[in-house]
Structure 1
């Protein structure tokens, strides 16, 4: 029978012995010596602690008060901003309507001027036809107008018929367009009214432009006045 044995190294055995020795030893607790304070020191500490608490409470109260003032200021600024936005939207809508009205009036004016020009052209043609009705014309093209020194009965009848037709056509035209005569008194009055309306629209456009340029400045000024008012109310409550 072969006997076996385990050989433990010296360093390992020494380390094991040290660990066992350290485990068996209980470490001593190092206690901090209690400092004996005097009565004056205790009072001073209490006074400093009370002052610190007072400062913290004061800071807390001021923070809550400032937060409430900021909330009021923000609410008023929001209302003011909404009001300015509504006014700006109304002015923009009014400006858009004025531009559309101006374009409509310009189109109407252009159409009326075109109509008056057509009427003037037609009136000139009828006047010319009325004058040419005193002459005879050839059947060839272009027609040539002539007046014999001595007229036959058929020639005179032809001329009379032409004059009657030309006069009738002119009378009918004048009857249909008598209200649109550009030389009537109402035309001058209409032009004056249009000029006055144009001046008013230009003034409104300038006012809107001034509002657009000064809108931001007015909003800032109103916001500042509102903030001052809120601060005054907070000071009065104190």
Structure 2
């Protein structure tokens, strides 16, 4: 087996372990904030937004895919997919900020879930290693928490600092895709290994970014809900 393929196998193992741990911590922070917000019907809207986001991303990424450049495709995936997850901000402008936060998080989840199911069926039909399905499961979680990071900063921050979360999510997503695409491009094993290390660093930082974004999002709680919560305390 070529050395670069071995590196990619190790990288996918790191994704399952490190990425999976980061996702668990990120989802924990997300659910803690989610429960503090009022109940709202989000499931149907988030599913529709996730499906639309995936369709738009596929269309926008198609020209780059036809170019045959894996590195350009990774950059486009990070830029496009993290942007289309923000569709609820445009479609539901009259919604309260906490509701938009929930819808963006749900959109990220359903985009990752639909994409993951499609890839998993391809993995099974082609007889690929089943551990790749585990990688897809982790990626569903990463799609979700990256959306949480983007929405938390955008809806809670000020001026240019609002875009820090979105910039991080785009970079983390692009770097996540780079190692296997760089291997397909035939880049040296040293380059592929370095990209895998950078991606791992981003996955480690993701949990901290989700926690920060979730804390920022708690400021989106309506004042009347906050007062009710305080008056209910003994």
TM-score in terms of structure 1 length: 0.23
Greater helix fraction, Structure 1 or Structure 2: 2
Larger Rg: 1
Q: Which is bigger in relative contact order (C-alpha 8 A, separation at least 6)?
A: 2
TM-score in terms of structure 2 length: 0.24
